[in-house]
């Protein structure tokens, strides 16, 4: 079993997607290799490219527990909330912080609990070099397909979120790591305050409702219209907002939710920037 003390390298893929998957020393990455099948010793190959391009200039590490607690309590107005099981699906408060870069070519997020403990991450996968050029040079990337892999604290995939190519309205396919679909997040209007339906098959089990025309804050409701969670964008300062591409959110889940509503709410929280409002110019 690969642990945090195992050196970076190619190892048998624990998820069964490919023969080999790259372990970066602390987590499994999205990089896979056909390899030659089994075995416990990784082949001696060069490490794959990081999901961050040389064009992407990181500003700082998002992991600062004191800053995260301030983000939750002072900027989002969410007081300490009792309970929580230490995972993406059991914590009452999720803090979703985008890696701060001067230029963002692939979305990367860290997810913490309300005390600043890392509990997961989100990474955009499947971005080719040509796609990154498009993203850097134009705004057309907002119309193309985006795929996000949600990982737990150990780097293991727990959900796959796909926003297919769009013209006006977006939708997000929510699936397990093995590809089994759980549901869809479907945009319901293109003008005014943006709303999304949480769909499982033909049934709407909830909704995401933007609370202003810029779609910065959202209320998430169940099928009765009762609010079950809230997403609040936290302002990180004028200079940071003007000169970087980071978006940071605090998500409060008001009560323990049944499945599949819980997974759809967590998916909504983790896709609110890249998949739902991937480019604010597209939301008017």
Domains of the chain: 1-48 (no CATH), 65-282 (2.40.160.200)
Q: Is residue 241 pLDDT above 50, yes or no? A: no
Parallel, antiparallel or unpaired: strands 248-253 and 203-210: unpaired
Mean pLDDT to the nearest integer, 47-68:
53
Phi-psi sector, 126: left (phi>0), alpha (psi -120 to 50), beta: left
Mean pLDDT over 232-257 rounds to 68
Higher pLDDT, 278 or 259: 259
What pLDDT is stored for residue 222 in this prediction?
97
What is the model's pTM? 0.70
pLDDT at residue 132 greater than cutoff 90: no
Strand order in the sheet with 9-12: 9-12, 20-23, 28-33
Residue 202 CA, distance from chain mean position: 25
pLDDT band per the 50, 70, 90 thresholds, residue 57:
very low
Q: Average pLDDT in the 119-140 region?
A: 66
Averaged over 123-142, what is the pLDDT? 60
Model confidence at 275: pLDDT above 70:
no
Residue 282 has pLDDT above 50, yes or no: no
pLDDT value, residue 221: 97
146 pLDDT exceeds 70? yes
What pLDDT sits at residue 175? 96
pLDDT score recorded for residue 67: 86
* pLDDT band at residue 38 under the 50/70/90 scheme: very low
């Amino acid at each position: 079993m690969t642990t945090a003390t195992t050196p970076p390298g190619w190892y048998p893929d624990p998820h069964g997607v490919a023969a080999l998957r790259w372990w970066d020393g602390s987590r499994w990455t999205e990089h896979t290799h056909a390899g030659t099948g089994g075995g416990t010793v990784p082949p001696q190959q060069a490490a794959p490219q990081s999901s961050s391009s040389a064009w992407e200039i990181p500003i700082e590490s998002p992991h600062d527990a004191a800053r995260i607690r301030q983000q939750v309590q002072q900027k989002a107005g969410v007081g300490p909330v009792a309970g929580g099981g230490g995972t993406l699906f059991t914590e009452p408060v999720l803090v979703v912080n985008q890696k701060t870069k001067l230029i963002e070519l692939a979305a990367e997020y860290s997810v913490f609990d309300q005390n600043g403990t890392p509990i997961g991450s989100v990474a955009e996968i499947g971005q080719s070099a040509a796609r990154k050029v498009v993203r850097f040079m134009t705004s057309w990337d907002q119309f193309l397909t985006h795929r996000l892999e949600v990982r737990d604290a150990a780097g293991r995939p727990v959900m796959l979120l796909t926003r297919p190519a769009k013209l006006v309205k977006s939708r997000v396919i929510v699936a397990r790591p093995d590809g089994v679909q759980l549901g869809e997040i479907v945009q319901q209007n293109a003008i005014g305050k943006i709303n999304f339906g949480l769909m499982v098959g033909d049934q709407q089990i909830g909704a995401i409702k933007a609370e202003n025309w810029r779609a910065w804050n959202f209320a998430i409701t169940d099928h009765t219209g009762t609010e079950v969670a809230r997403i609040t964008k936290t302002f990180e300062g004028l200079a940071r907002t003007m000169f970087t591409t980071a978006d940071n959110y605090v998500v409060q889940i008001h009560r323990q939710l049944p499945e599949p509503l819980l997974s759809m709410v967590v998916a909504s929280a983790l896709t609110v920037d890249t998949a739902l409002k991937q480019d604010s110019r597209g939301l008017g």
